[in-house]
Amino acid sequence: MGIMLTATGLLIGLLIGFNIPVILPQDYAKYMSVAALAALDSVFGGIRAAIEDKFDHGIFVTGFFSNALLAAGLTYIGDRLGIDLYLAAVVAFGVRLFQNLAIIRRHILKNKIT
Amino acid sequence: MSQRTTVYISIMLVAAILGIMLAVQFRVVNRSPGGISANRAEELLTDLKQINREQENLKKEIADLNYKLNQVNKGKSEAIEALRGELNKVRMSAGLVTVTGPGVEVVLDNPKNETEPGMPPGLFIIRDEDLLKVVNELWGAGAEAISINGQRIIATSEIRLAAPFININTRRVVPPYQVLAVGNPDTLVSSLELPGGLVEYLRSLGIDITVEKHDDLTIPAYAER
């Protein structure tokens, strides 16, 4: 049920994203990519929390936006300072993404078996 | 249950936003495969700065060279003027231009009456030497240009006896010989009519010679063959 809804939401978002006439300038593509990664992590975290029945609406929504903005901001500051700070965001969110995916997978498998 | 639906709706909304972000990102990356890295942009920026500096330097050089060119052009017109004057002088002395001005006209003719029977005819005709002497005397008196019967005397002109004629500039010239000279008339005449001078000498040979001053003589240019 939750995953279905998430998938439809994602589908709707993709449809909108592919059809809006605004095209992001090349300069901001980097920030957008890191923000998208952070958002992806937040969504998987939300799914995991929902499966574990620990889901908190406020934490999820604020986490989603603050993570995305923080990641983009970090990348921007890194650019200004000449440090590839976005790598930190990529690594952190990537690790958490895989952890969340693993936990979700286990929960699904457990539910299937039982 | 209603708590759960709001949770799912919020997840759906967030997923939608994520979808938008992913799609936008996908389009940006697809639009220019490979993309332009920040390093590349910085490289181009430094290149641009360097090229701008070079351009400024070159502009300064252009201004400098233009200034020099102007200076040279200013000098050039003066030099051209001087060269023109020089060329005119040289053309005149080479006999390539018609010369007009005050001067003298000397007319020499063979003796009319060939008395002295028994003498071969043609003994008392005017010879090339006589004309040469006249020309030489005129040059020596400061003549600017000389012509004999319309033949301009130039550096390569010959005055040469060829049987009954005299050749000047390889043209046959026949008596009476009209020698025109442009120059100060008084000087020319006085040098010719010096007591014991050339005119007296030629008269003594029986040559019919007249010397006249003219205010306005025209001496033709050397005619090329």
Rounded Cα gap, residues A68 and A35, in angstroms: 4
Specify whether B74 is located in the same domain as B106: no
Which residue reads 């029986």 in tokens?
B206
Q: Say yes or no for a CB contact (<8 Å) between A32 and B27.
A: no
User: What residues of B are in contact with residue A36 (Cβ under 8 Å)?
Assistant: 18, 21-22, 25
Q: Say yes or no for a CB contact (<8 Å) between A14 and B19.
A: yes
Task: Give the residue numbers spanning the domain of B89.
Answer: 44-94
Specify whether B115 is located in the same domain as B213: yes
In whole numbers, what is the pLDDT of chain B averaged over residues?
83
Q: Say yes or no for a CB contact (<8 Å) between B38 and A30.
A: yes
List, in sequence order, the alpha helices (H) in A20-85: 29-51, 57-81
Percent with pLDDT over 70 in chain B: 88
| pLDDT of B54 above 90 | yes
Specify whether B199 is located in the same domain as B134: yes
Q: Say yes or no for a CB contact (<8 Å) between B12 and A6.
A: yes
Closest partner CB to B15 (pick from A10, A32, A68): A10
Question: Highest mean pLDDT range out of A67-71, B11-15, B20-24, B30-34?
Answer: A67-71
Q: Please report, in tens digits, the pLDDT of each residue of chain A (114 residues total).
A: 666 777 888 888 888 888 887 777 777 778 888 888 888 888 888 888 878 888 788 888 888 889 889 888 888 888 888 888 888 888 988 999 999 999 988 888 888 766
Q: Could you say which of B67, B94, B121 is where a domain stops? A: B94
Specify whether B173 is located in the same domain as B82: no
Could you tell me the pLDDT band of residue B150, with boundaries at 50, 70 and 90? confident
What is the tens place of the pLDDT at every residue in B94-119? 888 888 889 899 888 887 655 555 55
Rounded Cα gap, residues B84 and B114, in angstroms: 53
Dihedral sign for Cα atoms in the order B50, B54, B60, B63: negative
pLDDT reported for residue B66: 95
User: What residues of B are in contact with residue A46 (Cβ under 8 Å)?
Assistant: 11, 14
What are the Cα distances from residue B89, in Å, to B86, B144, B165? 5, 11, 33
Q: Residues B5-18: what's their mean pLDDT?
A: 79
CB A18 within 8 A of CB B22: no
Specify whether B54 is located in the same domain as B141: no
Q: Determine, yes or no, domain membership for B21.
A: no
Closest partner CB to B10 (pick from A13, A20, A60): A60
Query: Is residue A49 less than 8 Å (CB to CB) from chain B?
Result: no
pLDDT reported for residue B128: 83
pLDDT reported for residue B33: 55
Specify whether B113 is located in the same domain as B184: yes
Cis ω before B176 (30° cut-off from 0) = yes
pLDDT reported for residue B118: 59
pLDDT reported for residue B176: 83
pLDDT reported for residue B64: 96
State how many domains chain B has. Answer: 2
Specify whether B163 is located in the same domain as B110: yes
What distance in Å separates residue A33's CA from the closest CA in chain B? 6
Q: Residues B15-36: what's their mean pLDDT?
A: 75
Q: Say yes or no for a CB contact (<8 Å) between A7 and B27.
A: no
pLDDT reported for residue A18: 83
Long-range contacts formed by A4-7: CB under 8 A, 24+ apart = A5/B8, A5/B9, A5/B11, A5/B12, A5/B15, A6/A43, A6/A47, A6/B11, A6/B12, A6/B15, A7/B15
Interface mutation target, options B1, B3, B21, chain A, most CBs of A under 10 Å: B21
What is the tens place of the pLDDT at every residue in B198-209? 888 888 877 888
Q: Could you say which of B77, B94, B111 is where a domain stops? A: B94
Q: Determine, yes or no, domain membership for B29.
A: no
Dihedral sign for Cα atoms in the order A39, A44, A46, A47: positive
Which run of H or E residues covers position B156?
A: none
ipTM of the complex: 0.73
> What residues form DSSP beta bridges with B147?
B152, B180
Specify whether B121 is located in the same domain as B209: yes
What are the Cα distances from residue B28, in Å, to A1, A29, A102, B2? 32, 7, 30, 39
Query: Is residue A39 less than 8 Å (CB to CB) from chain B?
Result: yes
Closest partner CB to A6 (pick from B15, B23, B35): B15
For B46, other C-beta atoms within 10 Å of its C-beta total 10
Which of A38, A109, A101, A48 lies closest to A74, judged by CA?
A38
What are the Cα distances from residue B98, in Å, to A68, A102, B94, B159? 100, 114, 11, 21
Closest partner CB to A14 (pick from B23, B31, B38): B23
What is the tens place of the pLDDT at every residue in B76-87? 888 899 999 999
A111's tokens: 């539910």
Specify whether B103 is located in the same domain as B208: yes
Specify whether B74 is located in the same domain as B124: no
Which run of H or E residues covers position B224?
A: none
What distance in Å separates residue B20's CA from the closest CA in chain A? 4
